[in-house]
Amino acid sequence: MATLIAIDPFNRIEGDLRVEIEVEDNTVTFAKSSGIMFRGFERIMSGRSPMDALVITPRICGICSGSHGVAASKALALAQSAEMPENAYYMKNLILGIEVVMSHLSHFYLLFAPDLTSPRYKGLSVYEKVNHRFTAMKGSSVVMALNARQSALEIMGLVGGKWPNSLAIHPTGTTSTMNLSTLTRTIGILKEFQDFLEKRFLNCSLGEWLDIDSFDKLLKWQEKSGHNGSDIVLFLTMCLEAGFDRIGKGPNRYMSYGAYDLPDGSTWLPSGFFENRLHPLDQTLIKEHIGASYFRDAVEARHPLEGVTAPLVDKSGAYSWAKAPRYEGKTVEVGPLARMIIADDPLLTDMMQQMDSSVMTRMFARLREMCRLTKEMSLWLEKINPAEPFYASPSSRFSATGIGLTEAARGSLGHWMKISSNLIENYQVVTPSAWNMSPRDESGQPGPVEQALTGVHVADPKDPVEVNHIIRSFDPCMSCTVH
Ligand code: NFE
Ligand code: MG
């Protein structure tokens, strides 16, 4: 007989998540992911000045406000045909990049790692070391990571003025600037952050780690003396001993909007849709479905520009306040794994070929991106010229539509706005966790996390640690999901 297990609330995440699973013969046969509150940001936006999006939408979330600021500023830039001075590209990339790096660091040490210390893993060779380093709030690496997080926050203060909810991000640039002194300070603090990565997380230079371009080389590097002291090696060993490479397979379709705009019109991370191979991304193929969502009936799946947010609390068959975004009608996984695949990161591409999508590949992609971004941010800092402008005068006229697409820590983030008579007529937000944590659509197709949970073997249904790992490997944020 199937046992129903409800994890509610799922702990250590932003916002409220309820996950229901049915377990039969120690196997998950059915999973449901529910966003259990309505927030209504899209409705708040209607009738306001388009520029209000810069102030209001970052409040959707306490941990990715900079990403919402960047998305809103890009939507407005399109609507105003705004142009930015070169410095502003690097400043915005630094704001976004620091937010993402800080998020990945916090995710690993503060949110994911505590589950690794479970007594379930007593038999593993790394159990004691994992507990020594990763015990919540007390582990030796956790304490150091908290200090590194503080360094990241200091950088955010210097490039974004404050965090969360920086007011510096605008369609025509940043109102925060840098002089030689703040620039030098920022470079120094980023070095402190990099020191943590190199001394504790990797136990080697960032360059050496980023040169590892295959799983075989990763295993050889692990064996080399000197690397046994690093957190990533400890985690790698644990992943393989505990079988994290074999749980949590997602839909195996991936999307990235591309992010970190550069003055030459390119982006540091490319956009794309990956299904068996890379396809160009076409945002017109995105639709949000509401078959299992608490929104008004008789509304077909819609592109966000035509999106409607009309809550219907007692809708029969509904179980989430999240809509269900789909690309060409299909579920897709977004986030660091999607970005690393679409960017053709050699290590992750090789790992995907050897072990498919799993808790392990998803986590390694996130940690890989944290290191790649740290290196890239130091290069962006070198490009800033304090003698040049950071901001250009904006126009007060808006065209009818604005679309702002970027990549937040957890994946693809889009803001779509329709403007009439210089006021917002419709504002629609589709967040990364709405993609990953989405409920079923009209055709009954489960969302990516629901799919990743189905079929997993649960050793002890009273303590479903495997389920925790899988959900957490997506790093869900439910404030964003239901916005
Ligand atoms: Ni609330 Fe967010 C990120 C966005 S996730 S954290 O990253 O947008 O859906
Ligand atoms: Mg929305």
Note the pLDDT tens digit of each residue in 353-388: 999 999 999 999 999 999 999 999 999 999 999 999
Burial environment of residue 124 by CB neighbours within 10 A (0 to 12, 13 to 18, 19 or more):
middle
| 239 SS3 class | helix
Task: Among the bound ligands, name the one nearest to the CA of residue 432.
Answer: 1
Expressed in angstroms and rounded, the spacing between residue 430 Cα and the centre of ligand 2 is: 5
Distance CA 96, CA 156 (A): 9
Task: Compute φ and ψ for 223, nearest 5 degrees.
Answer: -75, -25
| Residue 218 structure tokens | 């990763």
Q: For ligand 1, what atom is nearest to the CA of residue 433?
A: 9
Which tokens is 391 given? 């901001």
43, 309 contact by CB (below 8 A): yes
Q: What 3-state class would DSSP assign to 10? A: coil
Kind plus residue range of the DSSP H or E element containing 35: strand 27-35
Structure tokens at 424: 């917002």
* Residue indicated by tokens 């025509």: 172
Residue with tokens 């040169």: 211
Alpha-helical (H) ranges within 175-323 are 180-196, 206-210, 215-223, 231-242
CB burial of 299-326 (b: ≥16 within 10 Å; e: otherwise) equals eebbebbebebeeeeebeebbbbbbbbb
Question: In what order do the strands lie in the sheet containing 3-7?
Answer: 3-7, 17-24, 27-35
Q: What is the 3-state secondary structure (H, E, C) of 390-452?
A: CECCCCCCCCCEEEEEEEECCEEEEEEEEEECCEEEEEEEECHHHHHCCCCCCCCCCCHHHHH
Alpha helices (H) in 135-230, listed in sequence order: 140-160, 180-196, 206-210, 215-223
pLDDT tens per residue, the chain (483 residues)?
A: 899 999 999 999 999 999 999 999 999 999 999 999 999 999 999 999 999 999 999 999 999 999 999 999 999 999 999 999 999 999 999 999 999 999 999 999 999 999 999 999 999 999 999 999 999 999 999 999 999 999 999 999 999 999 999 999 999 999 999 999 999 999 999 999 999 999 999 999 999 999 999 999 999 999 886 666 899 999 999 999 999 999 999 999 999 999 999 999 999 999 999 999 999 999 999 999 999 999 997 668 999 999 999 999 999 999 999 999 999 999 999 999 999 999 999 999 999 999 999 999 999 999 999 999 999 999 999 999 999 999 999 988 999 999 999 999 999 999 999 999 999 999 999 999 999 999 999 999 999 999 999 999 999 999 999 999 999 999 999 999 999
Ligand nearest to the CA of 435: 1
Please state the pTM of the whole predicted model: 0.98
DSSP string, 363-390: HHHHHHHHHHHHHHHHHHHHH--TTS-S
Instruction: Identify residue 430 by its one-letter amino acid code.
Output: V
For residue 429, report the distance from its CA to the centre of ligand 2, in Å: 4
Yes or no: say if 331 and 251 are a contact pair by the CB < 8 Å rule: yes
> Which atom of ligand 1 is found nearest the CA of 434?
9
Q: What is the pLDDT of residue 226?
A: 64
How far does residue 42's CA lie from ligand 2's centre (Å)?
7
Residue 315: the pLDDT is 95
Contacts (Cβ under 8 Å, ≥6 apart) of 31: 19, 20, 21, 22, 446, 449, 450, 451, 453, 454
CA distances from residue 197 to 204, 359, 473 in whole angstroms, order as listed: 8, 22, 20
Tokens of 38: 């309505």
Q: For residue 94, which of 166, 196, 197 has the smallest C-alpha distance?
A: 166
pLDDT computed for residue 1 by the predictor = 82
Q: Which residues line ligand 1 (CB under 6 A)?
A: 14, 61, 63-64, 67-68, 408-410, 413, 431-433, 477, 479-481
Domains, the chain, ordered by start: 3-481 (1.10.645.10)
Surrounding ion ligand 2 within 5 Å at CB are 429
Atom of ligand 1 nearest to the CA of 14: 1
